[in-house]
Each structure stands twice: as C-alpha cells, then as structure tokens.
Amino acid sequence: MIGDRRILFSGMQATGNLTLGNYLGALKNWVTLSDEYECYYSVVDMHSITIRQDPAELRKRARALLTLYIAAGIDPEKSIIYYQSHVSAHAELAWILNCFTYMGELNRMTQFKDKSAKHADNINAGLFTYPVLMAADILLYQADVVPVGVDQMQHLELTRDLAQRFNALYGDVFTVPEAYIGKVGAKIMSLQDPSKKMSKSDENPNASIYLMDDPDTIRRKCKRAVTDSEAQIRYRDEQPGVKNLIDIYSACTGKTPAETEKEFEGKGYGEFKEAVGEAVVSVLSPLQARVKELEKDKEYIDRVIRNNAERAGATAVKTLRKVQKKVGFPERPR
C-alpha cells in the first residue's frame, strides 16, 4: 500500500514486435489500472537475455517498448516506467530467492519446458531460474496485484509460494501478491489459426497484427482472416475465427460481443471483416502517431528513464536491505 492505494507490478519483454494481442490483452488494461493502483511497469530486459539476443537490436526494442508504454497512455509522472536492468536490486534479490527455490519447483514450469524445446542449443541456467527473477521483480515492490496472462499463472504461484516460505522463516517481509486476469481482450487468437493465440513469435506474418503495421496491412490481414462456411456472425465456440474477430472488434470499439453480433446480424463476412479492419486502424493509428511524436523528443524519454529508474531503485533497495538483514548479511557501516 502507498497511502490508500494498492501496488501493482507488471512487465513485458522487449523481444519481437508487439501484437494487437499484447495491446488488447495487456497494455490497454495497464492504462486503465494505472488510475486505480500505484503502478510499476517494467521493460524486463534481463529476462530477455535468457534467449540469445542481438545487443543493438535488444537496446532498440527495449526503448521502443518503453516509448510504447507512454504512447499507450501510461503517465510516467504517476506510474513508474523503467528498465529492469537499471535497478540492480532485481538481480540481488533474485540471487537470494534462488537459494529458497527448489529444483523440483523450477523443473515443473511449463514455460521452461516449452522454451528449452524451442531453443535446444541454449538451455542456460537463466532460462531455468527465469521465474525466480520474475518473483524478485514482483516482491521487491511489495506488489498486491500482478496483471498477467494465464500463461504466467504458474510463475505467479511460485512467487506466492516463495513469499510465504520466506515470511514463514523470517516474519512478514513480503506482500503475497495476487494475479489479476483481465476480462476484455484476455486472449486474442491468431488470424490464420484461431485455435492458437496471436503471438509475436508466429512465423506467419498474416497471423498477427503488429502494433506498427500500416493501415493497408491491417485491413489486408483482417480481410484474409480465417473464418468458416456458416455465413453468420455469431459469438460462439463453434465459430472460433468469427468469435475472435468479434472479440477484436468489441475490444477496439468498446462494445460488448452481444452488441457486435446484433450490429452485424444478417451481414456478410466481407463487410464484417472490413469493419474489423477499420476498428483496428482507428485504435492503432493514433497510437502510432503518438509513438512517432515521442520518438522525436529524445530528451524527454531520457529524462523519464533516468527519473523513474531512480524512483524504482529507491523503493526496491528498501525491500532488499530488509531481506539482506533477515538472511544474515553483515550490516553496512554508515
């Protein structure tokens, strides 16, 4: 708690180009939540190097992601937007928590299994302890809530277990965080295979709408989206392609799926897909314009990076010092 406001922490990796799924499922909710909570939104660049990265590319993407947070409407004067690598307490707490995490717990993590299958030539220790660094991110700021996708629930459970384990040994040190799963746009599916989620690492570029796609590309991708031969615009599981387009349209226009169904009753897929394309363009075009505007103001972004890393660091170090004392590290002479 800060004053009467609860604390929220979340982060995103700067790997790949962000998709409409990332925006509707995460970023858009972050903006809304920032009115209600004391928010920390991190660009988790330390997590990114668990997979081999091109250094110049990583730096560029990290900055683009931080800029996007601001462009999406998160106010860096209120919320804290920062690079994880600029606050060294993350690494320090992660080390300590590593010593309280069992191999068996990490062995069960499905993301580790998936990622090591995908990158069989680089199954490094960082990939294995990735969830411990994530726990450190969250616990450093005594976060009450953590908005994440369902795929991250297992990591959040581990975070809670670690917090409780530590508290049981040393007294109340950490707040035990809760997951926050958004309702709107919770899972946007691939436009080419609606049984898969829309993902920034999809090999088929037509499967995902990227946040920086130009209007014609967006319209074309929507037009080519896989549907079915039912010829009716209904929100039901039997029509996953159509259902997904209804979700996208509803999330972009603020309408409910039922209202969208009604709006397009008796209309054809062609007309509907065009409307979906326009709805996406009307959300992404202003976002892209704000990104371009912000990119011009290098000093402003630099200032945000510097100030917010300081603000985050000041909070993080308080928790870290408490933890260091609890585990028995020598005091620092003043």
Which amino acids are annotated catalytic? 115, 197, 200
Should residue 144 be labelled a site residue for ligand LTN when binding is judged by CB under 6 A?
A: no
Question: Chain-centre distance of CA 106, in angstroms?
Answer: 21
C-alpha–C-alpha distance, residues 85 and 76, integer Å: 18
Distance CA 249, CA 254 (A): 8
Q: Which residue has the tokens 């590319």?
A: 57
Candidates 51, 124, 126, 149: give the one binding ligand ATP (CB under 6 A): 149
Q: Does 50 bind ligand LTN (CB under 6 A)?
A: no
Cβ atoms of 196 and 212 closer than 8 Å = no
Of 73 and 149, CB closest to ligand ATP = 149
Indicate whether 64 belongs to the interface with ligand ATP (CB under 6 A).
Answer: no
Number of residues counted as binding ligand ATP (CB under 6 A) = 18
Q: Which residues are registered as beta bridge partners of 106?
A: none
Q: What part of residues 184-243 is at the interface with ligand ATP (CB under 6 A)?
A: 185, 187-188, 197-201
Pick the closer one to ligand LTN by CB: 64 or 233. Answer: 64
Query: Does 315 help bind ligand LTN (rule: CB under 6 A)?
Result: no
Q: How far is the CB of 21 from ligand ATP (least distance, A)?
A: 3
**From the CB of 18, what's the least distance to ligand ATP, in Å?**
7
Q: Ramachandran region of residue 101, left (φ > 0), alpha (ψ -120 to 50) or beta? A: beta
Cα-based distances in Å from 72 to 100, 253, 277 = 37, 16, 20
* Pairwise CA distance, residues 181 & 258, whole Å: 22
Least separation in angstroms between CB 56 and ligand LTN: 22
In this structure, are residues 318 and 174 in contact, taking their beta carbons and an 8 Å threshold? no
Q: What is the largest CA-CA distance in the chain?
A: 76
Among ligand ATP, ligand LTN, none, what binds residue 11 when CB lies within 5 to 8 Å by partner kind? Answer: ligand LTN
Site string (11-40) toward ligand ATP, x via CB under 6 A: -xx--x--x-xx--xx--------------
d(CA 210, CA 144): 31
Rounded Cα distance between 8 and 95, Å, is 23
Part in contact with ligand LTN (CB under 6 A); list of ranges 3-11, 112-120, 241-249, 282-290? 3-11
Four-point Cα dihedral 199, 203, 209, 214, nearest 10: 150
Q: Which entry of ligand ATP, ligand LTN, none binds 200, CB below 5 to 8 A by partner kind?
A: ligand ATP
- Which amino acid does the sequence have at 298? K
Which of 7, 8, 11, 90 forms a contact with ligand LTN (CB under 6 A)? 11
Residue closer to ligand LTN by CB (options 179, 226) is: 179
Alpha carbons 235 and 258: distance in angstroms, whole number: 8
Closer CB to ligand ATP, residue 19 or residue 315?
19
- Binding residue for ligand LTN (CB under 6 A) from 29, 152, 175, 190? 152
Residue ranges binding ligand ATP (CB under 6 A): 12-13, 16, 19, 21-22, 25-26, 148-149, 185, 187-188, 197-201
